[in-house]
Amino acid sequence: MGYDARVLLDSVAPNGVRLTTLEVTFPRFVLAEWNTHRSFSRNSASSRAVPTAKLIERVENDPVVPLEWGRNRAGMSACETLAEEDAQAARGEWLRARDDAAAHARRLLELKVHKQELNRILEPFLWHTVVVTATEWTNFFALRCAENAQPEIRQPALLMREAMARSTPRIVPQGDWHTPLLQDDERLLDVETRKRVSAARCARVSYLTHEGTREIEKDLELYERLRSDRHLSPFEHVATPGEDRAFHANFRGWIQMRAEIESRSAPQSPEPQAVHPTTGA
């Protein structure tokens, strides 16, 4: 699989604020650092959703291996790397750990352990794909593109910055919507269908699912399940321009579909009851 970053949809509102959705692939073991950036709306492929046999195949055929082998020292960042001979030995140890994890996973699978626990021991060796949407990128790029950032998060951050620099955002008029993962011909659908299909596809995470055969009815069914089960994070990627550049949740100048869904389903406050001025009844 390997490191990758591509712009799925790039939009700019009449208020001048740019909203960008990317699909990014990086090692699963830096996901915790990624998730500290609270300005991001994101959906990740879940390791517990994939059959264990398929994950074992992935870590055996295409494992994550650290980009470099830093020499141990005090502090969070390595200043120098191991000599070539030691680096090769370190790589060998890492791959033997991968082999051990796969062997233990197979034995746990034979014991019929559920994949929500079992698959976790494979995560250090797995690639991870995320759909991320944001208006605020400065802090992320300042921290994660820095020379002292961990290489495995710095590499995707550099790819993201490059992808955004190459992308030209399209203008989204007031009242229209930023709807990632739609094909060009699907932009002729009515706006409500576009919003629902887009949110469902963001929930599926991988854009590869939507190349080739497309089944809008299944997307709409997934939308209904997400809405009724209150799995609302995919609705954050779909957004409409705000009247100004104020923040709405974690987006500046854009209002998420999630806010629309939540306002529709919010419980209504009961009408206040008249109270007798003397008895209080």
pLDDT tens across 128-137, in order? 999 999 999 9
Q: What is the DSSP letter of 124?
A: G
DSSP three-state, residue 109: helix
Looking at domain 4-264, its CATH architecture is: 2-Layer Sandwich (3.30)
pTM of the model: 0.89
Domain boundaries, the chain: 4-264
pLDDT, one tens digit per residue, over 24-71 is: 999 999 999 999 999 999 999 888 888 999 999 999 999 999 999 988
Alpha-carbon separation of residue 247 from 34, 58, 95 (angstroms): 22, 41, 46
Q: CA–CA distance from 123 to each of 43, 48, 113 (Å)? A: 17, 10, 16
The amino acid at 219: D
Say what the pLDDT of residue 189 is: 94
Q: How far apart are CA 178 and CA 198, in angstroms?
A: 9
Are residues 48 and 119 in contact, defined by beta-carbon separation less than 8 angstroms?
A: yes
User: E strands within the chain?
Assistant: 4-12, 18-27, 41-44, 127-134, 170-171, 239-241, 247-248, 251-252, 254-256
Residue 273 has pLDDT above 50, yes or no: no
pLDDT mean over 81-103: 97
pLDDT band at 156 (very low <50, low <70, confident <90, very high): very high
* The length of the chain, given as a count of residues: 281
Is 95's pLDDT higher than 60? yes
- Predicted pLDDT of residue 77: 75
Pick the more confident residue, 142 or 77.
142
